[in-house]
């Protein structure tokens, strides 16, 4: 069993509870606003690293058939249970070696850092094969730099964790597994043989990272969310925060990679 699978299997129950964190919910609402703008009505959506199926359920209720993929069977069990009765199917898949369902799909999504745990270029290539020209691929990655997280960690004396986003491994539920938080240039380079970047915004510029403060954010999230939204689309802020949303569009003609 891969270390990534083992980490997220162990983490699945805790992750389901984390969905209720006020900062996580505010960040997810921003992702859903972007999806509402770019995903064509009624189109089938491929959800890569779907976790507990929270986005799949949201999209299915909006009339999108969803196929969700994840390396963790325990995450997939929660997703299947959450989406019972909805037009959503779930399959095990390690995105480090993607072999995607045939589709066709009108859009693809990978939310909240699943692709920080797999090489980007093979995923971009595989997803491109399943999308028609112009179709969106919404990719939400853990950002490389989070000043809000760094301040919160420093304030709590957790100095050794401040640089954790720059490391090539991460620890979840006590298991260390491969991780990367690439620069914007590296993300664009991985996608550009097949995709054009059409939008980028950051989440969690001033909204503290879920869990980083050590106490629940509660209604403070409601106060900070509008400022976070305004800052996240400004040029100087679009690469810092908790996550970055990238909206790619499938190119009509694929340039041969390297």
Ligand X SMILES: C[S@@+](CC[C@H](N)C(=O)[O-])C[C@H]1O[C@@H](n2cnc3c(N)ncnc32)[C@H](O)[C@@H]1O
- Residues binding ligand X (CB under 6 A): 4, 8, 49-51, 54-55, 70-72, 75, 93-96, 111-114, 117-118
State which residue, 27 or 213, has the beta carbon closest to ligand X.
Answer: 27
State which residue, 93 or 205, has the beta carbon closest to ligand X.
Answer: 93
Cis peptide leading into 187, omega within 30 of 0? no
**C-alpha to C-alpha distance for 60 and 54, rounded to whole angstroms:** 10
Could you tell me which residues come within 8 angstroms of residue 217 by beta carbon, excluding any fewer than 6 positions away?
21, 22, 23, 207, 208
State which residue, 114 or 225, has the beta carbon closest to ligand X.
Answer: 114
When CB distances to ligand X are compared, the closest residue is 51
State which residue, 126 or 225, has the beta carbon closest to ligand X.
Answer: 126
HEC string of the chain? CCHHHHHHHHHHHHHHHHCCCHHHHHHHHHHHHHHHHHCCCCCCEEEECCCCCHHHHHHHHCCCCEEEEECCHHHHHHHHHHCCCCCEEEEECCCCCCCCCCCCECEEEECCCHHHHCCHHHHHHHHHCCECCCCEEEEEEECCECHHHHHHHHHCCCHHHCCHHHCCEEEECCEEEECCCCCHHHHHHHHCCCEEEEEEEEECCCCCCCCCCCCCCCCHHHHHHHHHHHHHCCHHHCCECCEEEEEEEECCCCCCCC
State which residue, 117 or 135, has the beta carbon closest to ligand X.
Answer: 117
Our CA dihedral for 215, 112, 175, 214, rounded to 10 degrees, sits at -10
State which residue, 32 or 229, has the beta carbon closest to ligand X.
Answer: 32
State which residue, 128 or 138, has the beta carbon closest to ligand X.
Answer: 138
């Amino acid at each position: 069993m891969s270390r990534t699978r083992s980490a997220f299997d162990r983490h699945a129950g805790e992750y389901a509870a984390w969905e209720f964190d006020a900062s996580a919910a505010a960040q997810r609402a921003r992702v859903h606003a972007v999806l509402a703008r770019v995903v064509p009505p009624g189109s089938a959506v491929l959800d890569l690293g779907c976790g507990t199926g929270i986005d799949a359920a949201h999209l299915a209720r909006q009339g999108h058939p969803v196929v969700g993929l994840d390396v963790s069977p325990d995450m997939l069990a929660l997703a299947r249970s959450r989406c019972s009765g909805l037009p959503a199917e779930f399959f095990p898949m390690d995105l480090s070696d993607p072999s995607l369902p045939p589709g066709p799909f009108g859009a693809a999504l990978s939310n909240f850092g699943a692709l920080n745990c797999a090489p980007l270029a093979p995923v971009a290539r595989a997803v491109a094969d399943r999308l028609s020209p112009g179709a969106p691929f919404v990719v939400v990655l853990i950002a490389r730099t989070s000043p809000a997280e760094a301040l919160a960690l420093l304030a709590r004396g957790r100095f050794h964790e401040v640089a954790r986003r720059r490391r090539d491994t991460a620890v979840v539920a006590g298991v260390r597994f491969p991780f990367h938080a690439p620069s914007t240039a590296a993300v664009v380079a991985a996608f550009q043989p097949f995709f054009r970047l059409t939008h980028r915004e950051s989440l969690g510029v001033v909204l503290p990272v879920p869990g980083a403060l050590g106490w629940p954010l509660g209604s403070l999230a409601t106060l900070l969310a509008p400022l976070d939204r305004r800052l996240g689309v400004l040029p100087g802020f679009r690469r810092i925060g908790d996550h970055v949303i990238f909206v790619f569009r499938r190119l009509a003609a694929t340039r041969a990679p390297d």
